Amino acid sequence: MLAPMQGLSNRELRDLFIDWVRPDVVFSEFIRVAGGKRKTLRPAQLQDIAPHEGGVPLVAQLIGQQPELLAEAARALQDAGVEHINLNLGCPFGRTTSSAIGGELLSQPAQIPPLLAALRKVVTGSLSVKLRAGYDHPQQLFELLSPMEDAGVDFLILHPRTVIQQYRGSADHTITAEAVQRTKLPIIANGDITTAAQGQQLLATTKAAGLMLGRGALADPRLFKRLRGQAPSEASADELRKDSVHLLRELLPRYQKRYCGQTQVLAKLRSLLPYLQEAGCRTIIEQLKRAKTLEIFETQLKRLETL
Residues with active-site annotation = 91
Question: How many whole angstroms separate alpha carbon 184 and alpha carbon 298?
Answer: 50
24-36 in b/e form (b: 16+ CB < 10 A) is: ebbbbbbbbbeee
Question: How many whole angstroms separate alpha carbon 109 and alpha carbon 107?
Answer: 6
Q: What is the dihedral of CA 135, 141, 24, 127, to 10 degrees?
A: -90
Name the CA radius of gyration of the chain, rounded.
Answer: 19
Taking residue 50's Cβ as centre, other Cβ atoms within 10 Å add up to: 12
